[in-house]
Structure 1
Amino acid sequence: MGFTADWLSLREPADLAARNADLLARAAACVPADAVVLDLGSGTGSTARAFAAMGHDALRWRFLDNDATLLAVARQTHPGAECVQGDLGAVEDLPLQGVGLVTASALLDLMPLPWVAALAGRLRAAAIPFYGALSYDGHMGWTPAHGEDAAVTARFNAHQRGNKGIGAALGPDSGAQSARVFAAEGFEVTLADSPWVIGPDQAALHAALLEGIAAAATEAGHATADVWLAARRASVAQSQAEIGHSDLLALPPS
């Protein structure tokens, strides 16, 4: 489930542009003045920076990640934040003391259904709201189109449903499935689209994304993903990609 700091930095502007502003604002409004925000799979702190960029810069943060290298970057960038290295898979051990909101970005699609169910149950018991942003939803499209786009997407989606370390990931089903799980626990759930739109001015991100998609599709059995990659890479400066994501806000029952 690991990511490099370089990849997280490269994708951060696209993530910020894609986030649903209304859900983020509603999430920020949930946090009492004396509470902290617990960010699961925090990486270098991009979720905190997204909240700050949208005017919510007075929040106090507790970052939780299993990657010490990423947390070291987060500690330097956000000296006021509490940084906790821990096992994201152990929902029962999440440090919820003093927490007014739990967040996660680009995480739900990596996790299995039992993990989401355990999280929803724990947050319902603690009456803590949850904001889960930028979950991949299975939709990818390019302009101009290529004949292999649909086949590559299908194989990539199959790969996304594979085991990322703690069980079969929800992958492109994560938004809808997570919404269902939280609603079953009595949360008021809102799901909103938050697609990446990557244009010619983001060629570096687009190229890195194409490499990752092709590698995953190849691992999932697509024999000519390298041909698709070569064609897409050759036109990256003249093409646009839209990669579907969803944001979720779950408010606990009162």
Structure 2
Amino acid sequence: MYKLEKTILAALTLGVLVTAESTAQTIKKTTKPAATVKKSTAAPVKATGSAIVLKNQMDSLSAAIGVSFANSLSSQGISNINHDILTKTINTSLKGDKAAFAPDEANAFIQSYFQKMMEEKGAVVRVEGEKFLEENKKKQGVVTTESGLQYQVIKTGEGPKPAATDKVKTHYHGTLTNGTVFDSSVDRGEPVEFPVNGVIKGWTEALQLMPVGSKWKLFIPYQLAYGERAAGPQIPAYSALVFEVELLEIVK
């Protein structure tokens, strides 16, 4: 379900901490069978920034997994984990003894925890977006459509309006409602081509209203953007989005 969830589940059920399936697959592909692995003759390596001395490959693997696991926790915003319980549970599971959770119980608890965390974060983002759009629609020049899409005309073109089945070339600059830039073809200096019906609903609706040559500012509620899901690390779930879009041409 989540990167961190996979990591913890692996620790509880398999006794191996991995950050994602890709990490596990990489280890599987690159690790030779035990019978063919020669004992390392390299000098012990002192881990940077710590007193831990890595004497062999398994020490290094253990340290690498520890760093990767800690980064997974940090990336999920979890900083107050109980290190003592975590360590004891790992040791207990590795020994094959009974832990605080059975594997299926651990899975259910983790899913419930992260679901609740996402709902709480999503509620905050959703309310902020709704408040922004409620105030924004009162501004001069802002038009609100029946769907809830808001737009402001910066420049009106004189070309034709594209149909949903057309392919168009655009320049755009996308931000969150707080001004944080998450993507910009303008900054890259490279316009983008795509089918009108192949993007988020807010764009699909707006593009069909724009004559070629127009430049609009779009204010898109989360229902017309990425909805209840996040879009990469920069766009949280339930995010209202703001775009400046210039419709350059209908691609024939």
Instruction: Using structure 1 for the length normalisation, give the TM-score.
Output: 0.21
Larger radius of gyration: 2
When you count helix as a share of all residues, which structure comes out higher? Answer: 1
Instruction: Using structure 2 for the length normalisation, give the TM-score.
Output: 0.21
